[in-house]
Amino acid sequence: MQKAVITVVGKDTVGIIAAVCTYLAERNVNILDISQTIVGGYFNMMMVVDIAGLNISFGELQDRLAALGIERIGVQIRCQKEEIFDEMHRI
Full-model pTM: 0.89
Which three-class secondary structure state does DSSP give residue 44?
A: strand
For 14-71, how does the pLDDT look when each residue is reduced to its tens digit (9 = 90+)? 999 999 999 999 999 999 999 999 999 999 999 999 999 999 999 999 999 999 999 9
* Vertex 54: Cα angle to 53 and 57 (nearest 5): 140
The helix/strand/coil state of 67 is: helix
Residue type, 39: V
Spell out the domains of the chain, with CATH numbers in brackets.
3-88 (3.30.70.260)
